[in-house]
């Protein structure tokens, strides 16, 4: 029996996946063999179908699937009553975790026939994550649900509900791009947590509950909110270098920087940075964006002095895009979950093709 301990499982192969490929040494990410740069131009519904069913939809099919997702992204009376009873101070990630096991997965409409019927309930559960976030936001911010006009698309509904106004096509496209970028990422902590739950033969909802908990932490998905809070604390771009230098001297982690897998720039950050610049330019978020850029540069300088490299990850510039789209900090990670839930679901089905209880071993060091 080996007594070598690897708490973080760095580099340990714990399974195989055909869903996404993270090539950290060359800074490349692909879903089902397609590069994330090309996928980020596709529609959200098309990428969901690709990730979950490995199916390339036609434009008409993608439109029909988006309409189906939008229609399923509604809560029933019981789910709404539960939400209304919850204390308004709860973080949206806690709310998502609370509702996952009690969500009704009965579809309102049959899943379009070009997708496998066995995905129907799972897709209802996934689509409802957006409905929960919308409803929770509206209850906390406005005291009641925003009435949505008929015919809105899946992502469009989110933006309409957050802003109480019809979003521009440009804004909807931007949200779809951000959601595509964060849909899947191999065996990240959240996905692995979901696999552990699935390995006990627990339900998809239980597995998603586990993934949601892991995603909420600031070393994982919670870094999106933490990075913007950090930039706000720093205050302005000219304070960034001194702040970063003090933080690193005190072993404080810079949120949104660094990644376990990427040795080069995270390809998702490479797409998000110019988007954030474009969306923040000339807005109230310009100063925040300048601060983020200055923090990234200061981090690279500091690490460069030690002969090391560090790069922004997905979380660093994402918040600036979300803010410009009218999505405030407490909702960042829950919107991440609204996208990643499709990846988690794909992993749940993939895992169950060849399941095995995940039960590692500990070295006993007690009395």
Q: Which residues bind ligand ACO (CB under 6 A)?
A: 8, 188, 219-221, 223, 248, 253-260, 313-315
Q: Rounded CA gap, 259 and 262, in Å? A: 6
Q: Least CB distance from residue 217 to ligand ACO, whole Å?
A: 9
* C-beta of residue 197 within 8 angstroms of C-beta of residue 206: yes
Q: Rounded CA gap, 340 and 324, in Å? A: 21
Closer of 75 and 292 to ligand ACO (Cβ): 292
For the chain, the helix, strand and coil percentages under 3-state DSSP, each to the nearest 5: 60, 5, 40
Q: Least CB distance from residue 26 to ligand ACO, whole Å?
A: 18
Closer of 152 and 181 to ligand ACO (Cβ): 181
Closer of 157 and 259 to ligand ACO (Cβ): 259
Closer of 170 and 308 to ligand ACO (Cβ): 308
* C-beta of residue 48 within 8 angstroms of C-beta of residue 183: yes
Residues constituting the chain: 367
Q: Least CB distance from residue 167 to ligand ACO, whole Å?
A: 25
Position of tokens 């895992």?
Answer: 351
Q: Least CB distance from residue 203 to ligand ACO, whole Å?
A: 25
Closer of 138 and 333 to ligand ACO (Cβ): 333
- 148-175 exposure pattern, b = at least 16 Cβ within 10 A, e = fewer: beeebbbbbbbbbbbeeeebeeebbebb
Closer of 3 and 250 to ligand ACO (Cβ): 250
Ramachandran quadrant class, 32 (left: phi over 0; alpha: psi -120 to 50; beta: rest) = left
* Chain centroid to CA 280: 21
Position of tokens 């309930």?
Answer: 121
Closer of 30 and 313 to ligand ACO (Cβ): 313
Indicate the residue whose CB is closest to ligand ACO: 258
Q: Least CB distance from residue 145 to ligand ACO, whole Å?
A: 30
Q: Least CB distance from residue 215 to ligand ACO, whole Å?
A: 8
Structure tokens at 357: 């209880």
Measured CA to CA in angstroms, residue 50 lies from 57, 98, 364 at distances of 8, 29, 44
């Amino acid at each position: 029996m080996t007594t070598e301990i690897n708490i973080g499982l760095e580099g340990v192969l714990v399974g195989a996946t055909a869903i996404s490929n993270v090539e950290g040494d060359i800074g490349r990410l692909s879903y089902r063999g397609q590069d994330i740069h090309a996928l980020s131009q596709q529609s959200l519904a098309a990428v969901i179908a690709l990730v979950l069913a490995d199916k390339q939809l036609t434009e008409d099919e993608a439109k029909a699937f988006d309409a189906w997702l939008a229609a399923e992204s509604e809560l029933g009376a019981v789910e709404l009553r539960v939400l209304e009873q919850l204390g308004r101070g709860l973080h949206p990630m806690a709310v998502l975790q609370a509702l996952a096991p009690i969500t009704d997965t009965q579809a309102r409409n049959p899943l379009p026939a070009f997708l496998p019927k066995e995905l129907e309930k799972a897709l209802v559960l996934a689509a409802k994550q957006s409905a929960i976030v919308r409803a929770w936001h509206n209850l906390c911010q406005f005291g009641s649900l925003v009435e949505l006009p008929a015919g809105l698309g899946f992502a469009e509904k989110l933006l309409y509900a957050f802003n109480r106004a019809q979003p521009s096509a440009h804004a909807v496209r931007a949200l779809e791009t951000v959601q595509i970028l964060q849909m899947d990422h191999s065996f990240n902590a959240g996905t692995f947590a979901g696999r552990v739950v699935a390995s006990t033969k627990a339900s998809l909802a239980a597995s998603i509950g586990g993934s949601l908990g892991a995603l909420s932490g600031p070393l994982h998905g919670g870094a999106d909110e933490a990075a913007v809070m950090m930039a706000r604390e720093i205050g302005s771009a000219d304070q960034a270098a001194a702040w970063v230098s003090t933080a690193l001297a005190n072993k404080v982690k810079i949120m949104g920087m660094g990644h376990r897998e990427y040795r080069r720039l995270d390809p998702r950050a490479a797409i998000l940075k110019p988007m954030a610049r474009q969306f923040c330019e000339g807005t109230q978020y310009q100063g925040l964006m300048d601060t983020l850029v200055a923090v990234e540069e200061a981090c690279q300088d500091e690490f460069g002095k030690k002969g090391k490299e560090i790069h922004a990850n997905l979380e660093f510039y994402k918040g600036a895009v979300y803010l410009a789209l009218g999505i405030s900090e407490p909702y960042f990670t829950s919107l991440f979950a609204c996208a990643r839930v499709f990846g988690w679901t794909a992993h749940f089905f993939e895992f169950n093709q060849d399941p095995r209880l995940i039960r590692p071993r500990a070295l006993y060091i007690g009395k």
